[in-house]
Homo-oligomer: A and B are copies of this chain.
Amino acid sequence: MNEVDHPSEVCSVARTVALFGDRWSFLILRDIGNRVSRFDELIGHLGIARDVLSRRLGTLVDHGLVAKRPYREAGRRERVEYRLTDAGRDFVPVLVALMSWGDEHLPGPGGAPVTLSHEGCGEPVGLELRCAAGHVVRPGREIRRELNAAAVAGAGV
């Protein structure tokens, strides 16, 4: 099959990037995953404009990647902070994939700025493309794409 067989918007890549495919959403999810969870912390760390952060957080909450939860420090008024939901944690592989690509192809002078390791065993963590039979799959050559006709028709495009 060929990509031209179905319209661009049917693909899950298209549907996902239509929601979160601007650079801020990736960075917001990364920061919230790393416990940068308050509005002004995000403003300070990302350098994003306040209105844009407000809108992005809104769509991330609306689509269930991020949850808004109240907290209160001693003697302070109640505030809100943001946490990843399960759906938001499921987004982590996207961030790991972006990070790996950058580590390999945009090398800084000192190598990868951040490395991930397995809590407990300490070994470095990476992404692998594997089939259900357990074979490691090289991207580009060894992947076949199959169109699910029902889903394409159901998408109403």
Q: Hey, which bits of chain A sit against chain B, CB under 8 A?
A: 2-4, 6-8, 10-19, 21-23, 26-27, 30-31, 33-36, 41, 45-47, 63-64, 84, 87, 89-106, 108-133, 135, 137, 139-155
* Residues from chain B with Cβ under 8 Å of A127 in the complex: 93, 97, 127-130
Question: For the complex, would chain A's binding face be called helix, strand, loop or mixed by DSSP majority?
Answer: mixed
Question: Is there contact, CB below 8 Å, between B31 and A3?
Answer: yes
Closest to A46 in B: B8
* Residues from chain B with Cβ under 8 Å of A112 in the complex: 12, 148, 151
28 A-B pairs whose Cβ atoms sit less than 8 Å apart in the complex: A2-B35, A3-B45, A4-B36, A10-B114, A11-B99, A11-B113, A12-B100, A12-B113, A13-B27, A18-B23, A21-B23, A63-B105, A64-B105, A89-B140, A94-B94, A96-B129, A96-B139, A97-B97, A109-B150, A111-B151, A112-B151, A113-B147, A113-B151, A117-B146, A124-B132, A125-B131, A126-B130, A126-B132
A30 to B6 CA separation, bound complex (whole angstroms): 13
Say how far A65's CB is from chain B's closest CB, in angstroms: 8
Question: Is there contact, CB below 8 Å, between B131 and A143?
Answer: no
Question: Is there contact, CB below 8 Å, between B23 and A114?
Answer: no
Contact pick for A120, options B111, B130, B142, CB 8 Å: B142
Question: Is there contact, CB below 8 Å, between B27 and A14?
Answer: yes
